[in-house]
Amino acid sequence: MDQFLSELRNWVWGAPLLLLLLGTGAYLTILLKGVQFRYLGYAFKQVVARQRQGSQGDISHFQALMTSLAGAIGTGTIVGVATAITVGGLGAIFWMWVTAFLSMATKYAESLLAVRYREKDSRGEMAGGPMQYMEKGLGWNRMAWIFAVLGMVAALSTGNLVQTNSIAEALNHVWHVDSWLTGVILCALTAVVVIGGVKSIGNVASILVPGMALLYIGAAIYILIVNFTHIPEAFMLIFHSAWNGQAATGGFLGSTMMMAMQMGVARSVFSNEAGLGISSVAAAAAKTDSPGRQALVTMTGALISTVIVCTMTGLVLAVTNVMGATGANGQVLNGASMAIAAFNTHIIWGEYLVTIGLVLFAYTTVLAWSYYGEKCCEYLFGERSIIAYRILFALVVIPGAALKMETAWYLADISNGLMVIPNLIALVGLSSVIRKETEEFLVIANREETESAKLRCVGDE
């Protein structure tokens, strides 16, 4: 089964899908004149800006971003980077960067359309995302239905199996906790929060995500400072391996440029969800006065999760020389065990820091994806199906904790890749709407920046 899933994963993530992802990101970057670079500073201001009059939605800009980041900053930024390097070499990090910068435009477009075409359900909650903009924007009812089915599958694999499996692996590696026990406890904790819906998820994410992210980044920076002399060499190896592959060392079997590119693009999508379209479901729930404003806020998530957090993980793995090393059991380190070994080299209790960080990151990812899957289920079967889906999602946590790591990742990669195709086609089909909405909002944004500059000048005088 693993052999079959591996071959299917490689087929799904072949050259056509890689070109579609990178090509769509490049096309949207050109179409929007590099909005992700020109308005990045303004975007970060909107994250913490006061709510404007006329805003509609269920959660704040900040909570929507934290929910989106909760779905992104999880195992992808720790375990995902380790597995990418194990298969594709350090060159995979370079392709993660390329994909992330281009994907910021993709994430912007997804969120803009999600807010543009969102609607209220009978409970008064916002419902928006790829299903809505495929149906209402393009009239692609069948494509919207297919995406919703894939979204439910991805929520149960990417957002559930992989996360709980990584938590169980880390807890077993450090504290020897039985995987089934981890599954039962996580099932209970997940059920408690997801029953409360998006507001409950947003509240939990806005507390756990910022604190844990800062602690993890701080620990990574400390290790990089201690090993600062190895950083230039690490960057040189990243750039060289991206184009030439990486030779076999220790237990590492070597990689090619195609392997580096394949793993880099796949893990970038896994870590920031740009291209999947699914995180735009959280953006649609945000209280905002304009689709463009929330789109800029959501766009920053790709930069934070991939360019910042994933890079920190990758550099730590590079400067600590754990790539290709073997553990006490004689097997090559991979996933959580590799990250734990890297942080253990210079930080007392480093294994506990990584384990706790991984548990919290992965847990918030489970919560965010439960909401994404719920909205897909609601689209397919109506609002009455929501409670049943929440119960099913919580129960799937138990077998997910005991699943073999490779199997969980194969399923996640396959479901992610299949979701990308209809979503990117829809973004290209709605590119004229994206450009028009962006141009209209940027007029407002430029006026706000001008007024803000005038107020600063008056204050200085």
Q: Is the pLDDT of residue 460 over 70?
A: no
Per-residue pLDDT band for 331 (boundaries 50, 70, 90) equals confident
Question: What tokens were used for 105?
Answer: 């435009």
**Is 422 in contact with 143 (CB distance < 8 Å)?**
yes
What number is the average pLDDT over the span 97-113?
96
Give the integer Cα–Cα distance in Å for 76 and 310: 8
Q: Find the length of the chain.
A: 461
Q: Is the pLDDT of residue 177 over 90?
A: yes
14 φ, ψ (degrees, to nearest 5): -80, -175
Helices 162-175 & 386-402, crossing angle to 10 degrees? 40
Question: Considering the domain boundaries, does residue 47 fall inside one?
Answer: no
Q: How far is CA 367 from the centre of its chain?
A: 13
Per-residue pLDDT band for 459 (boundaries 50, 70, 90) equals low
What is the total count of domains within the chain?
1
Give the integer Cα–Cα distance in Å for 250 and 71: 34
Q: Where are the alpha helices (DSSP H) in 56-161?
A: 61-72, 79-88, 91-116, 130-132, 138, 141-156
The pLDDT, as a whole number, for residue 174 is: 84
Give the integer Cα–Cα distance in Å for 125 and 428: 28
Could you tell me the CATH number of the domain that includes residue 104? 1.20.1740.10
Question: Considering the domain boundaries, does residue 3 fall inside one?
Answer: no
Residue with tokens 């992610």: 416
Question: Considering the domain boundaries, does residue 329 fall inside one?
Answer: yes
Give the integer Cα–Cα distance in Å for 273 and 188: 26
Picking from 197, 372, 205, 190, the residue whose alpha carbon sits closest to that of residue 276 is: 372
Q: Is the pLDDT of residue 93 over 90?
A: yes
What's the mean pLDDT when you consider all of the chain?
Answer: 90
DSSP 8-state code for residue 77: G
Residue 320 C-beta-side C-alpha neighbours within 13 Å: 28
The pLDDT, as a whole number, for residue 74 is: 65
SS3 56: strand
Give the integer Cα–Cα distance in Å for 322 and 86: 10
Per the structure, the complete domain to which residue 114 belongs is given by 54-450
Question: Considering the domain boundaries, does residue 316 fall inside one?
Answer: yes
Question: Considering the domain boundaries, does residue 34 fall inside one?
Answer: no
The pLDDT, as a whole number, for residue 433 is: 97
Q: Is the pLDDT of residue 250 over 80?
A: no
400-414 per-position pLDDT tens digit: 898 876 787 788 788
The pLDDT, as a whole number, for residue 324 is: 85
Give the integer Cα–Cα distance in Å for 196 and 177: 28
At a CB cut-off of 8 Å and minimum separation 6, what does 199 contact?
A: 58, 59
Q: Is the pLDDT of residue 461 over 70?
A: no
Residue with tokens 């959280």: 282
The pLDDT, as a whole number, for residue 445 is: 93
Picking from 239, 224, 254, the residue whose alpha carbon sits closest to that of residue 86 is: 254
Query: Bridge-partner residues for 56, per DSSP?
Result: 288
Residue 414 C-beta-side C-alpha neighbours within 13 Å: 17
Per-residue pLDDT band for 169 (boundaries 50, 70, 90) equals confident
Question: What tokens were used for 152?
Answer: 């439910």
More confident residue, 104 or 69: 104
Question: Considering the domain boundaries, does residue 355 fall inside one?
Answer: yes
Q: Is the pLDDT of residue 236 over 90?
A: yes
49-76 per-position pLDDT tens digit: 888 877 888 899 888 888 888 777 767 7
What number is the average pLDDT over the span 266-278?
88
125-167 per-position pLDDT tens digit: 899 999 999 999 999 999 999 999 999 989 998 889 888 988 8
pTM exceeds 0.85, yes or no? yes
Question: Considering the domain boundaries, does residue 16 fall inside one?
Answer: no
211-220 per-position pLDDT tens digit: 888 889 999 9
More confident residue, 115 or 273: 115
Give the integer Cα–Cα distance in Å for 107 and 295: 8
Q: Provide the residue type at 36 as one letter.
A: Q
Picking from 284, 260, 265, the residue whose alpha carbon sits closest to that of residue 110 is: 284
Question: What tokens were used for 310?
Answer: 């994933």
The pLDDT, as a whole number, for residue 157 is: 87
Residue with tokens 């847990």: 363
DSSP secondary structure string for all residues of 3-30: HHHHHHHHHHTSHHHHHHHHHHHHHHHH
What number is the average pLDDT over the span 178-196?
92
254-263 per-position pLDDT tens digit: 889 989 998 9
Give the integer Cα–Cα distance in Å for 127 and 143: 17
- State the first-to-last Cα distance of the chain, in angstroms, to the nearest integer: 71
